[in-house]
Structure 1
Amino acid sequence: MESNLKMKFSDEQIAILNNDFMRPLLVNACAGSGKTTIFILMALIAIAEGKTEPNEILGITFSHKSKIDMGQRYQNFVDQLQGSGLNLSSGKPKFTTFHALFYQLLRQNPEYRSAKVLTSYRYFIRDLSDQIKHPSNIITKDEMLSEMFDLNDYLINQDLTSDGVLPNECVDKPLSEAVKVMGQYSRQNHNETFLKIILM
């Protein structure tokens, strides 16, 4: 593989490539150290050894650019290994981003099949700006949205909500009760109108 790809593997990389594919493996290394390359080579070795098929491999990354890069690298390696004697099955692994994967998983549930994704933070501002009202002329609507999401994060991280919005203790209670409870959790002195926006 080294000669066909014109690469020289380090001892650490060889140890990773020799790892049992069927066991979990954590590769902890800095950016640019070759983690993606080694991941793709591990996949190719597993395919060549008949341990898996390409369509059984899932590569997850953070950005669309990285997803495209992974797919291109995989194909480049396959092209370079043609004639090497390795038995590489046809097909290709699935490369995707975290967000795209979880969106696809959500769409498997009937209640989310019509869900839409806001592709930019500015759409939050656009869609909510008309509803946001606050007695202060100092804080901006963008800052207001940031505080709304901070409060929402706090409720989720403290396990105070099961649906991501309504406090657990306010289920099946009037909206006014939820507003009072959320006011206790907020670090800011928000009025009732602000808190109702979060619950709508």
Structure 2
Amino acid sequence: MPKTPPEPLFIAPLPTPLGPAQIVFDAGGVLRAFDWDSHQERMDRLLARHYGPVGLTPAAAPKALADPFAAYFDGAVEALKTIAWTTGGTGFQQAVWRALCEIPAGVTWSYGQLAAHIGAPRAVRAVGLANGANPVGLVVPCHRVIGANGTLTGYGGGLDRKRWLLAHEGAAFRRAG
């Protein structure tokens, strides 16, 4: 996959109940990245990994992106499915990210379930790495993957946000400790 974006990329702030976030999108309004302001460095690193050096032009969020995010946080937990997204990544990563989109809101899978779902049941660690390299988190719902014992595991936005997102969606999980 080419290391340069096919067109300019834009960045817009996105207010959320969990703190400010940012979305990156192309000229067609297709989402390229989502992350929390507190994780700007992570988003920059993932964008560079997928597209090479990028310059982001500040812009207003397109309605086709802003409205589904607002609806999601207002309780319409399936609203993010309407967002068009694309990103770079290996074929394996793309398979993991497509599979993540099959996990319904309110449901969690373990890393083992996710690996089995893509036909690679022994690739649990690789699935975890792909999950962590997801640049369009929330829309590609990496937060819906938890430990095999039902406890929360890592999340790029922090475990407090993961806990909130899963509770917001009505998902069951065990609270550690």
TM (norm. structure 2) is 0.27
Q: Which structure has the larger Rg over C-alpha atoms? A: 1
More strand by share: 2
TM (norm. structure 1) is 0.25
Q: Which of the pair has the greater relative contact order for Cα pairs under 8 Å at 6+ separation?
A: 2
More helix by share: 1
